[in-house]
Structure 1
Amino acid sequence: MAIKLKKSYKFSFRSSLFITLLSSIVMGLTLYAFGIFNPYVILICAIVIYAFSFFILQYRVEKFIYRRVKRIYDDVSLLESTTFQNQPITTDMATLTREIEKFAKDKKVEIETLKVREAYRKEFMGNVSHELKTPLFTVQGYILTLLDGAMENEALRDKYLQRAEKGVERLIYIVKDLDMITKLEVGDLRLDYEDFDIIELIRNVFELFEMKSAKKNITLTFDMEYEKPVYVYADKERIQQVLTNLVVNSIKYGKKGGTTEISIENLIKNKVIVRVTDNGEGIEKQNIPRLFERFFRVDKSGSRKEGGSGLGLSIVKHIIEAHDEKIYVESVYGVGSEFSFTMEKAK
């Protein structure tokens, strides 16, 4: 690739002017001393001296600066800076300064981002370890107890095997959820779009958790009587998973005798918004920005007693965003929470 030089002549122009003036003065005084002073000779010599000085200085300074600037470009290119690789080498100091400053700012942002990611990675690995360790140790404990002689007791054997089975189920649940999040993040999970009635789907979810909600005397209901179906265009199975996770969360953190209410509203011509509202314990303001992080739990101890993988809301967010839609959360601590997400209407 041809190298394009952006030249600045200020230095050479001024330096040549100083050299010419000094040379002309010395020459004039010398000629005057010998009595052969001739202004025309001095003028011609001054022009020649200026021309030679200018071209020699310009060539030498340009080459001197270029060698050092090129070394800077080469060093920066080793860091795989696409900005510098795509730029022609210039000896203009102002341009180079701007590019170096921009490069430094970009690298600073990259370093800060890497630090945040590293902190997140450490936290994530710690959470994964903790979530997997608990059921693993539980299963191991029951199996070792059985091997140590408890197997002879039929009642104790059945009890411990059932508890070990629950531990294995939780492990499978966590692994499945992690696998789904990974696929959603890298775009490997294919969405099967279809037209379906969202009202009917919500009723099915209510029926699935009717017994679970009854244990806490929580009412699952619509905000009004929907006499006509509301058709949307999405992956029915994934949207059911979204609703399932949100309803399970509202039951888990809901108060006894409380309510989980779902409403569907028209937004614009081709969009609806689904709201899942409860009057449970609510979420403190500082915890809301982290709600959709993997394994983040508002109540570390209480939520683990309720079970689950700690990945529910993260999965919800990824599924909705995979549909190119938005999810929102509003909550007042001690009053309740509302999760809402948009969907495209069926054509």
Structure 2
Amino acid sequence: MLTTSRGISLILAVAISALTVAFLMLMDDATPTLLIVAGGISFSVSYILINVTLEFLIFKEIGHIYTVLGKIQKKDLTGIADGSNRTSISPLRKINKTINSYALAKNKEIETLQKNAEFRREFIADISHELKTPIFAAQGYVHTLLDGAVDDKEVRYKFLKRAAKSLNALDKLVHDLLTLSQMESGVNKFHFESFDLRELLQELIEELEHKAEKRDILIRFFYDKDKTFKTIADKDKIFRVCQNLISNAIKYNNDGGEVEVRLKSHKNQITVEVKDNGKGIPPEDLKRIFERFYRVEKSRSREKGGTGLGLAIVKHILEGHKSKISVSSTVGKGSIFSFELPLDQVLPEKPKKTQ
């Protein structure tokens, strides 16, 4: 009983009431009725005030602290709030807030570690599968040649060509992995310069036209001839971003389809937009297409080549430019990828004064 707020309040109230009555008894005109009334009032008021103070300012907060500590021991942090919006004059509230904040911080740390562990497991599984495919193919061709097919000149050339293709795919995969790793670690630095984005896209489209012609795909380039499209960015990395987006638009388009590349400038920004009229991307896949090795149609994607890292690299390059890649897609109608870069507004030179 002495460990509860009511027990402590009762003892203190009795003591206060007794002191009050003893003090009044020292007065000559104190009557028994006055002593009883004064004792009762002092006891009641003291009991209520002490009980409320102990219950709401001390015992309640101690109870919260024990509850949080119990949840921490059980690793169950559900229902724990940081208490930053709660106000109280209790001196224990600060301790309670500190414990709650610590518990929530540890909970977030545990969740992050669990997500990282899950990511590592998925990444190891993905990279193992991606590496196994070209290695297994090249290994099969080489062993076939070693088993006797090397004597046949035609078979030898065909198998060596296929093995070389598999090894080239493996080399590209390793190169993309290194590039992505360097970007994430900050080793791969950005070299910003002023250049014409229109000229870069024209050069890239000319480079990819042969690839598009093989599937009878037409690439259209739209831009306002009266506007300038100079930007400040890492030219090589932006070239890679555009190359990846246009290549994907060709790769995942329908035979005889079209790819539209648009340049728009508004205020202080330049928008690059790449549109295709292919199969499109299902809504449930849109949020995941920028993950490493994620493919909407795994079998179809592997048939068309690629490492599954292109869009992940695009995302990191644009983040390094304080921009982001946007995508909208309708199944059966196609997809639109777009991003923005700052417009390099070069002031015109003032004409020299003639003397």
TM-score, with length taken from structure 2: 0.73
8 Å contact kept, 1:317–1:327: yes
Computed over aligned residues only, the root mean square deviation of the Cα atoms, in angstroms, reads 3.6
8 Å contact kept, 2:142–2:163: yes
8 Å contact kept, 1:291–1:313: yes
Q: Compute the displacement of 1:281 (Å).
A: 0.8
**Amino acid across the alignment from 2:168:** E
Paired with 1:246 and 1:14, the residues of 2 have a C-alpha distance of 78
Paired with 1:343 and 1:286, the residues of 2 have a C-alpha distance of 28
Residue 299 of structure 1 corresponds to 297
**1:329 equivalenced with 2:347 (yes/no):** no
Residue 273 of structure 1 corresponds to 271
**Amino acid across the alignment from 2:209:** E
Paired with 1:95 and 1:131, the residues of 2 have a C-alpha distance of 53
Number of aligned pairs? 295
8 Å contact kept, 1:264–1:274: yes
Residue 166 of structure 1 corresponds to 165
Deviations 1:100-130 (A, max 9, x none): 2333233333323332222222111111111
Q: Compute the displacement of 1:23 (Å).
A: 6.5
Q: 1:14–1:99: structure 2 CA closer, same or farther, 3 Å change rule?
A: farther
Residue 238 of structure 1 corresponds to 237
Deviations 1:229-279 (A, max 9, x none): 5211111111110011001111111011111111111232x2111101111
| Structure 1 gaps, min length 5 | 1-10, 30-38, 40-61, 77-82, 84-90
Paired with 1:24 and 1:280, the residues of 2 have a C-alpha distance of 92
Paired with 1:227 and 1:211, the residues of 2 have a C-alpha distance of 29
**1:187 equivalenced with 2:186 (yes/no):** yes
Residue 214 of structure 1 corresponds to 213
**Amino acid across the alignment from 2:185:** V
Residue 148 of structure 1 corresponds to 147
Paired with 2:120 and 2:324, the residues of 1 have a C-alpha distance of 25
Paired with 2:240 and 2:281, the residues of 1 have a C-alpha distance of 22
Deviations 1:65-84 (A, max 9, x none): 99xx9xx99xx9xxxxxx9x
DSSP-derived class of the 1:287 partner: helix
**Amino acid across the alignment from 2:342:** E
Match of 1:288 among 263, 283, 286: 286
Residue 251 of structure 1 corresponds to 250
Q: Compute the displacement of 1:16 (Å).
A: 4.8
Residue 319 of structure 1 corresponds to 317
Paired with 1:201 and 1:110, the residues of 2 have a C-alpha distance of 44
Paired with 1:239 and 1:94, the residues of 2 have a C-alpha distance of 53
Larger relative contact order, structure 1 or 2 (CA cutoff 8 Å, min sep 6)? 1
| Structure 2 gaps, min length 5 | 1-6, 26-34, 36-57, 73-81, 83-89, 346-355
**1:205 equivalenced with 2:201 (yes/no):** no
Residue 19 of structure 1 corresponds to 15
8 Å contact kept, 1:262–1:276: yes
Paired with 2:287 and 2:245, the residues of 1 have a C-alpha distance of 17
DSSP-derived class of the 2:287 partner: helix
8 Å contact kept, 2:324–2:340: yes
DSSP-derived class of the 1:209 partner: helix
**Amino acid across the alignment from 1:96:** I
Q: 1:243–1:15: structure 2 CA closer, same or farther, 3 Å change rule?
A: farther
**Equivalence map 1:31-50=2 (5 Å):** none
- State the identity as a percent: 38
Paired with 2:173 and 2:100, the residues of 1 have a C-alpha distance of 46
Paired with 2:260 and 2:137, the residues of 1 have a C-alpha distance of 36
Paired with 1:252 and 1:226, the residues of 2 have a C-alpha distance of 29
Q: Compute the displacement of 1:97 (Å).
A: 2.4
8 Å contact kept, 2:272–2:339: yes
TM-score, with length taken from structure 1: 0.75
**Amino acid across the alignment from 1:271:** Q
**Amino acid across the alignment from 2:313:** I
